[in-house]
Structure 1
Amino acid sequence: MSHIPVSVIIAAGGNPDDFHACLESLRPTLGMRDEVVCVLPADRPELRAELRGQSWLSVVETGEPDPGRRWAVGLEATRHPIVVLVDGDVVLSAYWLDPVVESFADPAVVAAGPRCQHSYGPQQADLPDSALTSAAAFKAYAREWRHEHREEFSDVDRLGPVCVAIRRDALAIAGGPTADLPYERLAVQGRLVVAQAALVAHVGSPRCGLRPDVPEPPGEPLLSASLIVKDEEDVLGRSLDAVRELVDEIVVYDTGSGDRTVEIARAHDALVVEGFWSDHFGDARNRSLEHCRGRWVLWIDADEVFTGNAKAVRDALRHAERDAFFATIDNQEGHEGGAGTSTIYYPRMFRRSHARIYGRLHEQVVDRITGRALNGSLLPDLVLDHSGYTRLRGLVKNKAQRNLRLAKLAAEDISGLTAVGNLARSQLGSGHIEECIETSERGLAQAREHTHHVLFLKILADAYLTVGRLAEANETIERLRGIANTPFTVGEHEVKLRFAEGDYERTLELIEELPESGANDLLYGVGKGRFAGLHIDALSRLDRHREAAFQLRQALRDGRVPVPVARMAQVLGAADGSLAEVAELLPREALRGLLFSIAEAPPEAADELLEALWRRYPGEPTVLTLAARVGRQVPLIRAMEWSARLRQHGFPAQCTLLALSADERRTPRERTLAAAIALEMFHDEAALPLLHEALSSVPDAESEAVLHEMRILAPQVSANIELADA
């Protein structure tokens, strides 16, 4: 072979047949001056038997179970500047080493690797089953692959541990090899590259030999909660309260909060790590995992609340044989027309030693070595209530634009349809519909797996529905119907289509055909609850007002808020009801679910509902929090009442009069009177600069009228102003 000399270190592992296939495939790819060291586990005599007569390599034995230490033993026994680390149960294709080593002709490259079936990160290659029936079949497939990708090299943000070449001096500067290999520290020294023409695979067992069978230490805690956060003071406390009985420790990795997030986390006895944000959710979550001590980890977000059975979950973990469990995640959505709840099933609980988080956006739990999604089963008692998809919270966190930016970066990081799908979803969520349609069509053209076809057709159907291109939406839904394994996959889109067409009777029929709970082809939950808003609206448009009000009342009793506050007023009013019913029907524990809906409501409706809630729950902090949010929008007299209540209950900083007087959207008259009243009634000196600023904005033609009102509402303040002007 023509490449510069390298040191190849083989970590012997797996079963003897796979190890034999690895050695047989490696030898013909080596150069004359390459050196090869095999690191052999001391307790694997059956692997040593495969090394008889292999004079072209040397052997070192170690009792070290940790992959990082095994690589280090191999490094000590080699000398070339470029070291190649190879898992001992992969099959290597012809000439795979040449393009990998060729990458180092650029002195800026510090690490390079081939594409690899069953490897973590951008190296991962999805190969057809036909290519993995035997070593010969794989090599034939790899020959075609090599010709197709000749001279292709890609810069990436990380490589996997299965097969990689690294500059020895760069690895030393990075602190030496680790189980995952220190790519973050390598990346600051230079480029990481994938040689696209090179291909390796696990042709035999899908289990990688790099993972040692080490029993979990009995002294470790059972379960850690891991969160990454930034500016989550409005939701974090509730999330931590809910998970306290479930977990043994809470690790909060803060990525740069400017509010009280860190203070709240510490008050809940969490281990707080003040970290950084690198536009990569997966990396941030992995940095949080580094501080967890539990045998199991629950990944949870600050806007998620555990609502399951803590004892049942912990009992399941103590007897678990699997590496992961799926959680039921109930998403509160929208408050646009038709919004309700949706459910997804996602692996959120996993063995810490076996997993990592992968993905810049819409991250996944994967095997820490092979990069494959962890297998798991649904744990019914592991339930999370997620408010992150509500419309206002999305606006507050600027999620749509953030996700679009990260999805674009992710598509640059890695190839593959997962990144393309995330980009299409982010384009849809941020309103870039034409780009979403183009990306979805590109994904469909490349799709080979059933789930990818379903994913892109579903995104495409929603995109057409969003812009009212109903004929194209209908055509896409029919394409989806032709490949779907369950009718629920199609039904959820058809409900929205028939409603958009004005066929409200058919809309109701389709909603009735949906299950109370079920799963579509992508394992997303599908049920009637997601379309509670459309159900109510369809009944209203058919003038079935009492039925619509009945459905709304039932949803409220169940703790759900399916339509906006203004729409509630219309639906209840048409059935001789009022918003005051909401306060009576909605359970106290569901009050927080109104936060975003009330904040979006017209001021009059918001104030009416808040007043009813106050009468039902006087002194309730959640109601006061809502009032503080919307108080600046209500009429002046109502702002006075809410200010008095807030101050009476210990929230002077949230005074609605001060908020109103600082709000430039209100008239100079309103701002002036609000500040004057705050000064008169509460002697709050914080109102003084606000009063002076507002007064200076009052037009001369209105100044006498404003002063007249001030004499009535704030006589002492008015007298002082007039005395100062005299």
Structure 2
Amino acid sequence: MITISLCMIVKNEEEVLARCLDTVKDLVDEINIVDTGSTDRTVEIAKQYTDRVFFFPWTGNFAEARNKSFEYATKEYILYLDADDVLLEEDQIKLQQLKKTLDPSVDSVSMYYNAGTDEFGNVTLRYRRNRLVKREKNFRWYGDVHQYLSVSGKIINADIAVTHKKIRHSVGRALGIYANKIARGDKFTPRDFFYYGNELRENGKYEQAIESYQNNLAMQEGWVEDKIYACIYMADCYRFLGDFANELTALFKSFEYGEPKAEAACRIGYHFQRKREYKKAVFWYELALTRKPDPDQWSFSYPAYYTWYPHLQLCVCYYHLGDFQKSYEHNEEARKYRPEDHNVLHNKQLLESKLGIEQTETANLS
């Protein structure tokens, strides 16, 4: 059986740190916690789980802090988590089994990162990360913000997930780090432009976000998956700005970099649905349902666009096209994922009425 060092960086995480550690403390052989300047009870809580609590002054660079945390590891493999991450019970069982059976020649194990979930427990954003890495390889982190772990060698993909359960969003923190990079005159990589665009978009700075995405697309180098999502997110910015023509152009541009993703197809469907061009909308939503997310995909994946969302929108489109049976069938498919969604339940009541079951009709489909 392999041995595992848990390595974490923390700052003012008193609300979530115990929750995280409770889900992993019995799975690891060592817990190393590096505090970067907490002013709350974070350190006190950390010391209830380990005597290996260290201090590292915050330098404004996440990679430096993560690399420092890795230096304290003494076991064969390093597992890293953020304080607002947890391992759900099923994933704890899977990790325990992996620990017993992992071939020591493996250099890294990637795991899913379920970065968001909805109120019904559906994953809303998922991607892979190298999560368990061999200590002797001395893999390093890079990047001031949205840092990445540079890994090589024998890598396997596990079906274990780390689940993110954020309580609050640190609004503007990453933008501040990017502002410092710009002030220093740092040269931006395609990755920098992509993630800077994301931060600008999430903070409502849509024109600047579009510019940053365009800078990413203008560079020959860079990960093709980032370019696909740069197009999709750029389309979102245009939509928020009311520029629907450029929204559609940006979505179609994403096809230049690979096969249509459900995330793009659903947005195109909604573009036509807004215009009440329901047959065109149906084409794109049904195309989305033919797309299957790759379980080994490393880039962002939004499972809703492959499952309940196109079904729910097809329910609406077919309703307006007068095909109540198909509308009902798609609503039932959406209900499998969102059984208590009041919109889905209302659609069910309305459509059953249309199909001959006497009920009160208060239309919710628009």
TM-score with structure 2 setting the length: 0.76
| Alignment pair present for 1:343 and 2:343 | no
Q: Compared with structure 1, are the counterparts of its residues 524 and 569 closer, same or farther at alpha carbon in structure 2 (3 Å cutoff)?
A: closer
Q: Compared with structure 1, are the counterparts of its residues 443 and 529 closer, same or farther at alpha carbon in structure 2 (3 Å cutoff)?
A: closer
Where do residues 94-113 of structure 1 align in structure 2 (5 Å cutoff)? none
Q: Compared with structure 1, are the counterparts of its residues 448 and 287 closer, same or farther at alpha carbon in structure 2 (3 Å cutoff)?
A: closer
Deviation at 1:479, TM superposition (A): 2.4
Give 1:383's aligned residue. Answer: 161
Deviation at 1:283, TM superposition (A): 1.3
SS in 2 for 1:246: coil
Q: Take 2:113 and 2:257, find their aligned partners in 1: how far apart are those partners?
A: 26
Q: Take 2:142 and 2:272, find their aligned partners in 1: how far apart are those partners?
A: 41
Deviation at 1:407, TM superposition (A): 2.7
Q: Is the 8 A contact 1:283 1:357 kept in 2?
A: yes
Give 2:169's aligned residue. Answer: 397
| Alignment pair present for 1:314 and 2:87 | no
Q: Deviations over 1:148-174 (max 9, x none)?
A: xxxxxxxxxxxxxxxxxxxxxxxxxxx
SS in 2 for 1:297: strand
Deviation at 1:453, TM superposition (A): 4.2
Give 1:305's aligned residue. Answer: 86
Give 1:289's aligned residue. Answer: 70
Give 2:197's aligned residue. Answer: 424
Q: Compared with structure 1, are the counterparts of its residues 525 and 246 closer, same or farther at alpha carbon in structure 2 (3 Å cutoff)?
A: farther
Give 1:509's aligned residue. Answer: 286
Deviation at 1:535, TM superposition (A): 4.0
| Alignment pair present for 1:525 and 2:310 | no
Q: Take 1:529 and 1:260, find their aligned partners in 2: how far apart are those partners?
A: 40
Give 1:408's aligned residue. Answer: 179
Q: Take 2:265 and 2:241, find their aligned partners in 1: how far apart are those partners?
A: 15
SS in 2 for 1:349: strand
Deviation at 1:511, TM superposition (A): 3.4
Q: Is the 8 A contact 1:340 1:531 kept in 2?
A: no
Bigger mean CA offset, 307-316 vs 293-302: 307-316
Q: Take 2:239 and 2:53, find their aligned partners in 1: how far apart are those partners?
A: 44
Q: Take 1:427 and 1:251, find their aligned partners in 2: how far apart are those partners?
A: 33
Q: Deviations over 1:263-292 (max 9, x none)?
A: 333333463324432221111112222222
Q: Take 1:466 and 1:382, find their aligned partners in 2: how far apart are those partners?
A: 36
Q: Deviations over 1:327-350 (max 9, x none)?
A: 111221578xxx951221111221
Give 1:332's aligned residue. Answer: 116
Q: Is the 8 A contact 1:514 1:526 kept in 2?
A: no
Give 1:439's aligned residue. Answer: 212
Give 1:554's aligned residue. Answer: 336
Q: Take 1:421 and 1:442, find their aligned partners in 2: how far apart are those partners?
A: 8
SS in 2 for 1:233: coil
Give 2:254's aligned residue. Answer: 480
SS in 2 for 1:267: coil
Q: Compared with structure 1, are the counterparts of its residues 556 and 245 closer, same or farther at alpha carbon in structure 2 (3 Å cutoff)?
A: farther
Q: Take 2:4 and 2:181, find their aligned partners in 1: how far apart are those partners?
A: 31
Deviation at 1:496, TM superposition (A): 1.8
Q: Is the 8 A contact 2:105 2:154 kept in 1?
A: no
Q: Take 2:71 and 2:29, find their aligned partners in 1: how far apart are those partners?
A: 16
2:236 maps to amino acid: D
Deviation at 1:534, TM superposition (A): 5.7
Deviation at 1:300, TM superposition (A): 1.1
SS in 2 for 1:473: helix
Q: Deviations over 1:538-580 (max 9, x none)?
A: 53575578657645653257xxxxxxx9xx3343345459xxx
Q: Deviations over 1:21-45 (max 9, x none)?
A: xxxxxxxxxxxxxxxxxxxxxxxxx
Q: Is the 8 A contact 2:32 2:69 kept in 1?
A: yes
Q: Take 1:535 and 1:270, find their aligned partners in 2: how far apart are those partners?
A: 51
Structure 2: tracts of 5 or more residues without a match: 351-366
Deviation at 1:462, TM superposition (A): 3.5
| Alignment pair present for 1:469 and 2:253 | no
2:140 is matched with which residue: 334, 353, 356? 356
Q: Take 1:381 and 1:375, find their aligned partners in 2: how far apart are those partners?
A: 19
Q: Take 2:59 and 2:118, find their aligned partners in 1: how far apart are those partners?
A: 28
2:342 is matched with which residue: 556, 560, 569? 569
Q: Take 1:334 and 1:462, find their aligned partners in 2: how far apart are those partners?
A: 20
Q: Take 2:51 and 2:159, find their aligned partners in 1: how far apart are those partners?
A: 23
Q: Deviations over 1:441-463 (max 9, x none)?
A: 22222223562644543442333
SS in 2 for 1:227: strand
| Alignment pair present for 1:492 and 2:255 | no
Deviation at 1:260, TM superposition (A): 3.6
| Alignment pair present for 1:536 and 2:312 | yes
Across the aligned residues of Structure 1 and Structure 2, the Cα RMSD in angstroms comes to 3.3
SS in 1 for 2:237: helix
Q: Compared with structure 1, are the counterparts of its residues 541 and 263 closer, same or farther at alpha carbon in structure 2 (3 Å cutoff)?
A: farther
Give 1:457's aligned residue. Answer: 231
Q: Compared with structure 1, are the counterparts of its residues 301 and 230 closer, same or farther at alpha carbon in structure 2 (3 Å cutoff)?
A: same
Deviation at 1:498, TM superposition (A): 1.4
Q: Deviations over 1:564-615 (max 9, x none)?
A: x9xx3343345459xxxxxxxxxxxxxxxxxxxxxxxxxxxxxxxxxxxxxx
SS in 2 for 1:243: coil
SS in 2 for 1:524: coil
Q: Take 2:154 and 2:233, find their aligned partners in 1: how far apart are those partners?
A: 26
Deviation at 1:525, TM superposition (A): 3.5
Q: Which has the higher contact order (CA 8 A, sep 6+)?
A: 2
TM-score with structure 1 setting the length: 0.41
Q: Is the 8 A contact 1:246 1:311 kept in 2?
A: yes
1:329 maps to amino acid: Y
Structure 1: tracts of 5 or more residues without a match: 1-217, 367-372, 558-564, 578-726
Q: Is the 8 A contact 2:7 2:78 kept in 1?
A: yes
Deviation at 1:477, TM superposition (A): 2.5
SS in 1 for 2:23: helix
2:234 maps to amino acid: L
Q: Take 1:320 and 1:459, find their aligned partners in 2: how far apart are those partners?
A: 40
Q: Compared with structure 1, are the counterparts of its residues 357 and 453 closer, same or farther at alpha carbon in structure 2 (3 Å cutoff)?
A: same
SS in 1 for 2:98: helix
Q: Take 1:270 and 1:459, find their aligned partners in 2: how far apart are those partners?
A: 44
Q: Deviations over 1:168-200 (max 9, x none)?
A: xxxxxxxxxxxxxxxxxxxxxxxxxxxxxxxxx
Q: Is the 8 A contact 1:281 1:359 kept in 2?
A: yes
Where do residues 601-640 of structure 1 align in structure 2 (5 Å cutoff)? none
Q: Take 2:296 and 2:305, find their aligned partners in 1: how far apart are those partners?
A: 13
Q: Take 1:527 and 1:470, find their aligned partners in 2: how far apart are those partners?
A: 25
Deviation at 1:433, TM superposition (A): 0.9
Taking only the aligned residue pairs, the percentage that are identical comes to: 23
Q: Is the 8 A contact 1:226 1:299 kept in 2?
A: yes
SS in 1 for 2:301: strand
